[in-house]
């Protein structure tokens, strides 16, 4: 599931795209995004214009899938609160010192922002209808600029002139300033009556939130809202595990977001009661979340139903946990498995970072080839490689999973698997210049790859035969062994991990463990013209 956490298309998450790592937030955030398409055509616009009405502001990136889902959701409730709530949309992007705009999904998203803002400005009563039309194909807004205008009785020439001129730029600048004033970077972000809303993204939950700030008016809407169901969730952890994979604070927060009336009961595997619970419900990896069957009556049930597995009288929620409490804990100086081997001496600790042999001047980058954040990280590597030259040993690793039948799965689909293979073929046959191919592809990662391969003739035969598949099979083993699922993830000297997408972050972390020439040179870092940092999980 994609958390192209469009910064965030939600939030960056710690681990694994194939279900092996700890993806608590990745699972739950995407669940929040899986909302139905709003088929209701709206006759009202941004609201009544009533100065006393409640402000409802939605901050999005116009081509973000989660932003689009949020707009469709909000559009359902706009007519029911007409005259009481001013519904408004603002946009998330960056403006450089040269006056140009940058957005996570590229120039087409910037253009989409401008067209939508021009419609909001000139045809406010038709704004939500225009969004409704455009969101049917949010990945290619440009193709519907004119058709959606005509469908809604909007004079296309007027919004075209606006969007392509100074007026559109001014509207976008003003919109971005509103987002920046609140430090908004995640698409979508909701503000209701001046306060950020972080509750459930369901129609009923949004109505409840709006009713709270409108004194439960209109009563014909607010009085009919159903009450949510209270139920118990059992959170099974192991107090012996203190690593990131066992941290559950964010998990608990997200559970409470999906289920506001949830009651969480803790179970510790390191106690007799916890061990019995673990055995009874045949749990294998921790942390684990099991719901009692009353969850079926809770409002958020539909969002998690497909991730639930019946376990006796409970439901086990699949969250991609990775800690096996029956194996050696690699940093507690104890023989947890009673086999005479402690910590790194135990074979269970092969993938534990602190047990890996250090290799100086080494830098590994783990990415998905079509992840926008991974692309930015690879683009930053050009400056890093130019700076350190032969003083850095760089290796490109991909994040994917291999099926039993020899096929592969990757977060962004078959196209990403194919590109992973092509780039590995470039690495093998053009070790000194493979980055030229990679950087070329990053300009249009889903476009025609053959143009970039013109100067790399060996890529085609390698990628289309069994050789390329063998390269990918071998390459992804390291990410899977280390439970790395966030793109991009860096590893210095074979054992020190960090995250980031800019050259300066890479330099600082590399030089923290390596004293080499040019470590004193400051490289390009995050700036106002950079897309926010994040990851695909």
Residue 243, domain CATH: 3.40.30
**Same structural domain for residues 63 and 177?**
yes
List the one residue out of 37, 38, 56 whose CA is nearest residue 46.
Answer: 56
Report pLDDT digits (tens) over 321-334. Answer: 989 999 999 989 99
Structural domain containing residue 292: 231-317
Domain contains 51: yes
Question: Which of 222, 242, 262 corresponds to the end of one domain?
Answer: 222
**Same structural domain for residues 235 and 214?**
no
**Same structural domain for residues 257 and 399?**
no
**pLDDT for residue 16:** 39
Token pair 């001047």 in the structure block, residue = 361
CA dihedral 129→10→528→364, nearest 10 degrees, is -140
Q: Which residues, including other chains, have CB under 8 Å from residue 279's CB and lie 6 or more apart? A: none
Separation of alpha carbons 535 and 417, rounded Å: 18
**Same structural domain for residues 217 and 259?**
no
**Same structural domain for residues 99 and 171?**
yes
**Same structural domain for residues 240 and 121?**
no
Domain contains 352: no
**pLDDT for residue 367:** 97
Residue pair 9/308 in contact (Cβ under 8 Å)? The answer is: no
Encoded tokens for 332: 């507690």
Domain contains 532: no
Domain contains 367: yes
Q: Kindly give the residue spans of alpha helices, DSSP state H, lying in 262-371.
A: 272-280, 301-304
DSSP E strands, 20-173: 54-60, 85-91, 94-95, 101-102
**Same structural domain for residues 204 and 313?**
no
**Same structural domain for residues 208 and 238?**
no
Domain contains 30: no
Q: Kindly give the residue spans of alpha helices, DSSP state H, lying in 404-447.
A: 414-429, 434-442
Residues of the chain with pLDDT under 70: 1-51, 526-534
Domain contains 182: yes
**Same structural domain for residues 218 and 274?**
no
Question: Which of 317, 347, 375 corresponds to the end of one domain?
Answer: 317
What total number of domains does the chain contain?
3
Residue 183, domain CATH: 3.40.30.10
**pLDDT for residue 25:** 40
Separation of alpha carbons 278 and 350, rounded Å: 25
**Same structural domain for residues 112 and 136?**
yes
Residue pair 8/185 in contact (Cβ under 8 Å)? The answer is: yes
Token pair 């991909």 in the structure block, residue = 398
Question: Which of 164, 199, 222 corresponds to the end of one domain?
Answer: 222
**pLDDT for residue 248:** 95
Burial grade of 236 (CB within 10 A; 0-12, 13-18, 19 or more): buried
**Same structural domain for residues 59 and 182?**
yes
**Same structural domain for residues 265 and 209?**
no
Strand partners of residue 90: 59
Domain contains 70: yes
Encoded tokens for 144: 């519907």
């Amino acid at each position: 599931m994609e958390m192209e956490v469009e910064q965030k298309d939600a939030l960056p998450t710690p681990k694994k795209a194939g279900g092996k790592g700890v993806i608590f937030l990745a699972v739950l955030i995407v669940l929040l995004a899986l909302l139905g398409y709003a088929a209701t055509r709206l006759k009202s616009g941004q609201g009544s214009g009533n100065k006393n009405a409640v402000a409802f502001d939605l901050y999005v990136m116009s081509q973000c899938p989660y932003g689009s889902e949020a707009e469709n959701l909000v559009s359902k409730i706009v007519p029911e609160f007409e005259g009481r709530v001013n519904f408004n949309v603002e946009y998330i992007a960056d403006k450089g010192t040269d006056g140009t705009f940058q957005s996570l999904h590229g120039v087409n998203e910037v253009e989409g922002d401008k067209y939508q803002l021009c419609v909001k400005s000139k045809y406010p009563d038709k704004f939500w209808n225009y969004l409704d039309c455009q969101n049917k194909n949010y990945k290619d807004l440009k193709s519907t600029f004119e058709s959606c205008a005509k469908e809604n009785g909007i004079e296309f020439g007027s919004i075209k002139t606006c969007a392509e001129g100074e007026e559109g730029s001014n509207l976008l600048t003003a919109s971005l300033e509103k987002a920046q004033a609140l430090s908004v970077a995640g698409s979508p972000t909701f503000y209701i009556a001046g306060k950020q809303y972080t509750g459930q993204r369901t129609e009923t939950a949004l109505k409840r939130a709006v009713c709270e700030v409108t004194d439960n008016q209109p009563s014909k809407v607010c009085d009919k809202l159903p009450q949510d169901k209270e139920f118990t969730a059992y959170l099974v952890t192991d107090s012996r595990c203190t690593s990131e994979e066992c941290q559950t604070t964010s998990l608990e927060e997200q559970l409470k977001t999906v289920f506001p009336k949830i009651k969480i009961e803790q179970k510790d595997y390191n106690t007799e009661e916890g061990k019995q619970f673990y055995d009874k419900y045949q749990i294998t990896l921790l942390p684990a979340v099991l719901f009692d069957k009353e969850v079926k009556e809770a409002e958020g049930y539909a969002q998690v139903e497909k991730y639930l597995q019946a376990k006796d009288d409970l439901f086990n929620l699949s969250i991609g946990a990775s800690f096996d409490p029956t194996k050696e804990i690699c940093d507690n100086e104890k023989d947890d498995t009673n086999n005479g081997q402690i910590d790194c001496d135990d074979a269970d600790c092969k993938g534990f970072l602190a047990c890996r042999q250090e290799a100086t001047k080494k830098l590994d980058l783990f990415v998905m080839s079509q992840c926008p954040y991974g692309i930015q990280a690879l683009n930053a590597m050009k400056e890093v490689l130019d700076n350190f030259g032969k003083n850095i040993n760089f290796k490109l690793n991909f994040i994917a999973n291999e099926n039993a039948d020899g096929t592969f799965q990757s977060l962004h689909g078959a196209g990403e698997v194919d590109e992973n293979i092509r780039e590995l073929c470039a690495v093998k046959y053009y070790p000194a210049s493979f980055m030229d191919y990679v950087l070329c592809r990053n300009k249009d990662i889903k476009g025609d790859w053959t143009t970039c391969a013109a100067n790399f003739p060996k890529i085609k035969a390698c990628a289309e035969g069994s050789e390329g598949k063998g390269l990918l099979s071998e390459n992804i083993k390291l990410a899977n062994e280390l439970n790395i699922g966030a793109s991009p993830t860096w590893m210095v000297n074979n054992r020190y991990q960090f995250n980031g997408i800019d050259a300066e972050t890479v330099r600082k972390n590399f030089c923290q463990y390596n004293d080499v020439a040019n470590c004193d040179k400051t490289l390009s870092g995050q700036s106002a013209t950079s897309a926010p940092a994040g990851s695909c999980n």
